[in-house]
Amino acid sequence: MQHTDCALIMGANPAENHPISFRWLTKAKENGGKIVSVDPRFTRTSAQADIYAPLRSGTDIAFLGGMINYALQNNLIHKEYVAKYTNASFIVKEGYDFKDGLFTGYDETKRAYDKTKWALEATEDGKPVKDETLENPRTVFQLMKKHYSRYDVDKVISVTGTPKEDYLKVCEAFCSTGKTGKSGTILYAMGTTQHTVGTQNVRCYAILQLLLGNIGIPGGGINAMRGESNVQGSTDFGLLYDNLTGYLGAPKATVPEHATLKGFLDKETPKTGYWSNKPKFVVSLLKAWYGENATKDNEFGYQFLPKGNKNYSHINLFNAMYQGHLDGAFLFGTNPVVGGPNSGKEKEALSKLKWLVAIDLWETETSSFWQKEAGSNPANINTEVFLLPASASYEKEGSVSNSSRWMQYRWKAIDSRGEARPDLDVIHELALRMKKLYADSTKSADKPIQALDWSYGTGETPDIDLIAKEINGYDLKTGKLLAGFGSLLDDGTTSSGNWIYSGFYPAEGKNLSKRRDNKDTGNANYLNWSYAWPMNRRILYNRASADPSGQPWSKEKAVIWWDAIQKKWVGNDVPDFKAVTAPTEPDGTGPFIMNKDGVGLLFAPTLNDGPFPEHYEPFESPVPNVFSSQQMNPTTVIIQGDFNKKGEKKDFPIVATNYRVSEHWQSGSMTRNQEWLSELAGHMFVEMSEELAQEKGIKNKDMVIVSSARGEIKAYAMVTKRFKPFTIQGKKVHQIGMPWHFGFKGFATGDTANRLTPHIGDANTTIPEYKAFLCNVRRA
């Protein structure tokens, strides 16, 4: 980030939520870089920015679609990069079209597309058909240009409410990084993702950055500012329901081919690109999990894996719980009665469980959901609640991975208090006891537990070093640790618990995540500090920092380059490319090695809601969509019934959002139980503009009631210049905002913002639409 010429911070507030990262932006500023902040309210980040532009919550695609159009119309793109390193030149098959908010292939009853209608032309041997002049009207480039020509500046700002001069300043500053030798970076987090169009919001960043040639170079890229200290690690290790470790996907009962390992691999393995190695990663994973019980004859234990037939994300789990489909739940360090969408209903859902195990540092709003304090009547609740005290991060050893994919080891600092135990111990004992319990079972449903290879010692505490080595993987013929995922095989002779981390522990006693050598190894890389997957690369797709001939686009932003004498790629980073593949070879100019054709996807025919991002209004919006007659994302799954009441503009005319403050952490368990932090930010509040306060007769510090279709909460009014009314389609629209950290436990208590939020998610990820909904306010 310190190398950037312009940082576009949108849907994130790093000065408040990621202050250590902000240090590097400050450094960029000292080097002459510009900082741009785009946020519905003027934040602590905006206060440090060179340019600030407000937008109405939920209108990011309109804003960014306009920037894409601006870059194209004004010829600010990096033309050679676009022609060579993206699919701009690919020809889209006849049949694909876009009309009035819908792409070809929409099925209204399923609320889903037939994605085969978005296919690209290919030759007989599967190679893409291209026109590198980009002039053919069926090229991705021309279709994209046409799609975004509808996003002219005046139309965009009539949707976003951004003042025109501010909007143009943002376009000009950021699009100037399309020049060779310049780089721009984007920082985003929850303001971007927590929408029914969250994934397509992020896709806009990808398109913009590819057009400007900003991926793969220092000061470029797209920075997903990760949340909890180890959320990167948790997704890497398959904690999401639809992924095995290392982003391998997960078998589904609804896909007929997934019935067998061969079928799963045939269907899910592309013929070209690095993912063509997927069978090696999957089989090695099965060997890590089932050991000797994974053999060629039993498909390496593939049938032990659960094959789900539903969406098991947060929203759907709570919906199923509410309908009584679940008997029990384990909550490892989560507090949904404060953090979940439509949390009043999620609290009710918990009462449908027979048992609940909460593993936490504190008794939270969730583990005490049955108490009078929670507004519940204990006499009516049959859920049996177990509370297991957990050790805090300082009380246990292990690794965490940060937003830069660095796996860093943390040693135990102090012993746990009382009976608190690390989560890993809890899981370890649970696994051992379950294996014992089912040891003699003859039921096929119990086979996966019997087959599970759980050899981390038999004591109460597992041997964490054995787990680390299992993740790295072994050559099972020699028993030696593997040097990296390049050694993995699909014949059952290798194992690895997570292919992307294979190589972090290449030899006995050499756990690279423990490295602490903070010497700059060249151009502010610190290759001997920790370990970045894959293979310790710091900048992904760094082949794109060099031109097709293999020389850096510019000296100042050089990362790796082709050395014609040594006949290999050399430089300041580990090449994210086969080091000996010369630029003159057929696959020598494809930096995006994880994609099947080696190029970045301007046109992405894989997502549920379309190959190009298109603006739709949020589930609850105060205005009609002016871009098409599709009011909201046509592929979002709408949960019907009383779990998700929808508010209308006539009752709830004000746009609402919510966010974090530095002084509190998430649902507040970690901070509202601390006296000092509770004193610093002790009350639930709602920020509103001076204009809205005046209209409603509200004064600063008045107690007000904020209402939505889901509920009402009390909060102190914070009347501020940080919010300003928007002019949307010629009319005044107000927006308010509030923190979501409060609940009834701890020292600092207050009403929970999530009692107001809707129970609806993004069309690809199902992340809840916390950030844009309708509400009203009145004096209490």
Ligand X SMILES: Nc1nc2c(c(=O)[nH]1)N[C@H]1C(S)=C(S)[C@@H](COP(=O)(O)OP(=O)(O)OC[C@H]3O[C@@H](n4cnc5c(=O)[nH]c(N)nc54)[C@H](O)[C@@H]3O)O[C@H]1N2
Contact residues: Mo ion, CB under 5 A: 227
Q: State the minimum distance, in angstroms, from the CB of residue 55 to ligand X.
A: 6
227 touches ligand X by CB under 6 A: yes
Cα separations in angstroms, 159 against 57, 295, 727: 10, 58, 9
Contacts of 663 (CB under 8 A, 6+ apart): 671, 677, 680, 681
Q: State the minimum distance, in angstroms, from the CB of residue 392 to ligand X.
A: 6
Specify the residue, 228 or 563, whose C-beta has the smaller distance to ligand X. 228
CA 423/CA 396 separation, integer angstroms = 9
770 touches ligand X by CB under 6 A: yes
11 touches ligand X by CB under 6 A: yes
CA 711/CA 477 separation, integer angstroms = 61
Decide which of ligand X, Mo ion, none touches 208; Cβ closer than 5 to 8 Å per partner kind: none
312 touches ligand X by CB under 6 A: no
Contact 621, 656 (CB under 8 A): no
- Which of 38, 120, 288, 527 is the binder for ligand X (CB under 6 A)? 38
Residue 660 has phi, psi (to 5 degrees) of: -105, 160
39 touches ligand X by CB under 6 A: yes
Specify the residue, 11 or 178, whose C-beta has the smaller distance to ligand X. 11
Q: State the minimum distance, in angstroms, from the CB of residue 505 to Mo ion.
A: 28
Range in contact with ligand X (rule: CB under 6 A) among 13-21, 169-177, 262-270, 433-441: 13-21
13 touches ligand X by CB under 6 A: yes
Structure tokens at 206: 């990808």
Range in contact with ligand X (rule: CB under 6 A) among 6-14, 510-518, 577-585, 725-733: 6-14
Residues within window 711-750 making contact with ligand X, judged by CB under 6 A:
737, 740
Q: State the minimum distance, in angstroms, from the CB of residue 592 to Mo ion.
A: 27
361 touches ligand X by CB under 6 A: yes
Specify the residue, 227 or 653, whose C-beta has the smaller distance to Mo ion. 227
| Number of amino acids touching ligand X (CB under 6 A) | 56
Q: State the minimum distance, in angstroms, from the CB of residue 39 to ligand X.
A: 5
Contacts of 612 (CB under 8 A, 6+ apart): 98, 103, 143, 144, 147, 148, 207, 603
Run of H or E residues at 705: strand 703-708
Decide which of Mo ion, ligand X, none touches 360; Cβ closer than 5 to 8 Å per partner kind: ligand X
Structure tokens at 68: 């894409």
Decide which of ligand X, Mo ion, none touches 513; Cβ closer than 5 to 8 Å per partner kind: none
Contact 72, 211 (CB under 8 A): yes
Structure tokens at 28: 């960029």
Decide which of Mo ion, ligand X, none touches 38; Cβ closer than 5 to 8 Å per partner kind: ligand X
- Which of 104, 351, 393, 450 is the binder for ligand X (CB under 6 A)? 393
- Which of 209, 342, 658, 776 is the binder for ligand X (CB under 6 A)? 658
Look-up of token digits 């060099």: 546
DSSP, residue by residue, 168-183: HHHHHHHHGGGSTT--
Specify the residue, 515 or 664, whose C-beta has the smaller distance to ligand X. 664
Decide which of ligand X, Mo ion, none touches 511; Cβ closer than 5 to 8 Å per partner kind: none
Bond prior to 586 in cis (omega within 30° of 0):
no
Nearest to 332 by CA among 302, 359, 309, 367: 359
CA 778/CA 621 separation, integer angstroms = 20
Q: State the minimum distance, in angstroms, from the CB of residue 339 to Mo ion.
A: 9
Position 760, amino acid: I
Look-up of token digits 């079972």: 441
Measured in residues, the chain has a length of: 780
What are the strands, taking DSSP E only, across 696-756? Answer: 703-708, 711-720, 726-728, 731-733, 735-739
Q: State the minimum distance, in angstroms, from the CB of residue 694 to ligand X.
A: 22
- Which of 69, 284, 334, 635 is the binder for ligand X (CB under 6 A)? 334
CA 352/CA 355 separation, integer angstroms = 9
Q: State the minimum distance, in angstroms, from the CB of residue 391 to ligand X.
A: 6
Structure tokens at 3: 């190398």
Decide which of ligand X, Mo ion, none touches 389; Cβ closer than 5 to 8 Å per partner kind: none
CA 495/CA 291 separation, integer angstroms = 8
- Which of 7, 10, 144, 704 is the binder for ligand X (CB under 6 A)? 10
- Which of 1, 36, 189, 654 is the binder for ligand X (CB under 6 A)? 189
Q: State the minimum distance, in angstroms, from the CB of residue 304 to ligand X.
A: 27
Specify the residue, 227 or 492, whose C-beta has the smaller distance to Mo ion. 227
- Which of 662, 674, 720, 727 is the binder for ligand X (CB under 6 A)? 662
Bond prior to 653 in cis (omega within 30° of 0):
no
Residues within window 415-454 making contact with ligand X, judged by CB under 6 A:
423
Specify the residue, 496 or 636, whose C-beta has the smaller distance to ligand X. 636
Specify the residue, 227 or 506, whose C-beta has the smaller distance to Mo ion. 227
- Which of 4, 669, 678, 764 is the binder for ligand X (CB under 6 A)? 669
User: What distance lies between CA 269 and its chain's CA centroid?
Assistant: 23
Position 757, amino acid: T
Count Cβ atoms within 10 A of the Cβ of residue 693 and give its class: 0-12 exposed, 13-18 middle, 19 or more buried: buried
Q: State the minimum distance, in angstroms, from the CB of residue 770 to ligand X.
A: 4
CA 593/CA 603 separation, integer angstroms = 17
What are the strands, taking DSSP E only, across 100-139? Answer: 102-103, 106-107, 112-113
392 touches ligand X by CB under 6 A: yes
What are the strands, taking DSSP E only, across 423-500? Answer: 474-475, 480-481, 494-495
Range in contact with ligand X (rule: CB under 6 A) among 8-16, 376-384, 505-513, 546-554: 8-16
Decide which of ligand X, Mo ion, none touches 333; Cβ closer than 5 to 8 Å per partner kind: ligand X
Decide which of Mo ion, ligand X, none touches 330; Cβ closer than 5 to 8 Å per partner kind: none
273 touches ligand X by CB under 6 A: no
335 touches ligand X by CB under 6 A: yes
Contact 6, 36 (CB under 8 A): yes
Range in contact with ligand X (rule: CB under 6 A) among 12-20, 97-105, 499-507, 568-576: 12-20
Count Cβ atoms within 10 A of the Cβ of residue 352 and give its class: 0-12 exposed, 13-18 middle, 19 or more buried: middle
37 touches ligand X by CB under 6 A: no
Decide which of Mo ion, ligand X, none touches 361; Cβ closer than 5 to 8 Å per partner kind: ligand X
Range in contact with ligand X (rule: CB under 6 A) among 88-96, 175-183, 222-230, 471-479: 222-230
Cα separations in angstroms, 539 against 274, 605, 634: 17, 26, 36
- Which of 667, 689, 708, 764 is the binder for ligand X (CB under 6 A)? 667
Which positions from 50 to 79 touch ligand X by CB under 6 A, shown as an x/- string?
A: -------xx-x-------------------
Contact 672, 744 (CB under 8 A): no
199 touches ligand X by CB under 6 A: no
Contact 300, 326 (CB under 8 A): no
- Which of 772, 774, 775, 777 is the binder for ligand X (CB under 6 A)? 772
What letter does residue 401 receive in the DSSP assignment? E
Q: State the minimum distance, in angstroms, from the CB of residue 226 to ligand X.
A: 7
Residue 357 has phi, psi (to 5 degrees) of: -110, 120
What letter does residue 309 receive in the DSSP assignment? -
Contacts of 634 (CB under 8 A, 6+ apart): 101, 102, 106, 108, 111, 609, 616
CA 511/CA 500 separation, integer angstroms = 15
302 touches ligand X by CB under 6 A: no
Structure tokens at 674: 């601390």
190 touches ligand X by CB under 6 A: yes
Residues lying near ligand X in the complex (CB under 6 A) are found at: 10-13, 17-18, 38-41, 43, 57-58, 60, 189-192, 194, 225, 227-228, 332-336, 339, 359-362, 364, 390, 392-393, 423, 657-660, 662, 664-667, 669-670, 737, 740, 753-754, 757, 770-772
